[in-house]
Every structure is written in C-alpha cells, then in structure tokens.
Homo-oligomer: A and B are copies of this chain.
Amino acid sequence: MLENLMKYRIILASNSPRRRKLLEELGLKVEIKPVETDETYPASISPPEVATFLARRKADAYNGLEESDLLITADTIVAMGTTILGKPGTREEAVNMLRLLSENLHHVTTGVCLRSMKKEVVFEVTTRVYFTALAGNEIDYYVDHYRPYDKAGSYGIQEWIGYIGVDRIDGSFYNVMGLPVNRLYRELKNF
C-alpha cells in the first residue's frame, strides 16, 4: 500500500515516539529529524488554526529539504472552548488542568503539514473528548505516577487516566494520540 510514496524519503520532524509509531503502523518507514521552533502563535486565531499554524511553522523550520523528500510535521492542540491547554509547567498546573477536564467536553485538534519541494498539503482534524468525573485522589495518582509534563492538556488518552477517565470520544481516536491516521493515509495516497 501507498506505493506512490516509494520514490520519497519520508521525514518526520517530530520528537514524539507516539507519532513515529502511528506512522509505522501505516506501513511507512520514516526518518526522524526533529526541528527546534518557537511555539508561539497569534492571539487572534482559533485553536484549530493554531494547530495548522504550528504544523506549518515546524515545516518552515526544517532546513535542507531535498528533491526526493516528503516532510511530515504535526501539532496537537487541546482546547476547552477558546482556551488552549498547553503542557503543564508545574504539578499544580497539571492538577488544575485535569480538574478542568473532569466531567467536561474538550476538543483535540491535530494539524498536519505534508511538504515536498513541489507541493504542500495542510489539514487538521478535531476529536471531541468527554471525561467522566475524576476524583481528587485519581488526579493526584495520575500526575504523580505518569508525570504528564510533556503532554498538552496534561493527559495521554493511551495512559491510565484515558482508561478510567474518558468514557466517550466523537471522532478519531488516534488523532488524540497525535496523528489523524485515517485522513493522513488518504492524503498520502493522493500526494
């Protein structure tokens, strides 16, 4: 499958082991070349726009794209209404974010940029995620045992808190993990 990509060297400009694994499950061999970028964004744009803005910015930060390269970058944004929940800086921030998510709906958007020397495709996919009520000791247990300081919104859906806390999603599950693999597969098929 995806024979049309055989001519490309596929580069994933991301440090995320989850994204790498998701791409490999699609049957792709990828080279990992993380980029350093400033992750600020204009205050005026909506959370889904932030996801594509940052995915594109990561592609812009990649140097040395060659003729046969296909570059993949992505950014995942967790938002409640118009408020974006970033990576928690402290234990207190992590606990507060999880309190906010408890018994609430939030949105997870992943923006993706596919770029070669001749072409660029940018898209984003949003999943609605519903948390049931989280008890104080469940939040404490998760933060102390899983240390979600590298995770936007302070949680990983594939970790314990996702098992006990998320009772329903509406949309793509893998999108919440970091890549909307179904849409991505179709975009890659047509690239």
Q: Which residues of A contact B (CB under 8 A)?
A: 1, 22, 25-27, 132, 137-138, 141, 160, 163-174, 181-183, 185-186
**For A22, A27, A164, which residue has the most chain B Cβ atoms within 10 angstroms?**
A164
**How many of these chains are in the complex?**
2
Q: Which residues of B contact A160 (CB under 8 A)?
A: 25-27
Interface centre among A163, A165, A166 (most CB of B within 10 A): A163
Interface centre among A138, A173, A183, A186 (most CB of B within 10 A): A173
**Complex CA–CA separation, A67 to B166 (angstroms):** 33
Contact partners of A185 in chain B: CB under 8 A: 163-164
Which residue of the partner chain, among B25, B137, B163, B186, contacts A182 with CB atoms under 8 Å?
B163
The 3 nearest A-B residue pairs measured at CB: A167-B182, A173-B173, A163-B181
How long is the Cα–Cα vector from A165 to B25 in the complex, in angstroms?
13
Rounded to whole angstroms, the CA-CA distance of A105 and B77 in the bound complex is 28
A165 to B137, CA, bound (A): 38
* With known contacts A25-B160, A160-B25, A168–B171 Cβ distance under 8 A: yes
**Across the interface, do B163 and A26 meet the contact criterion of CB distance under 8 Å?**
yes
How near does chain B come to A58, taking the closest CB pair, in angstroms? 22
Q: How far is the CA of A170 from the CA of B141 in the complex (A)?
A: 28
CB distance from A23 to the nearest CB of B (A): 10
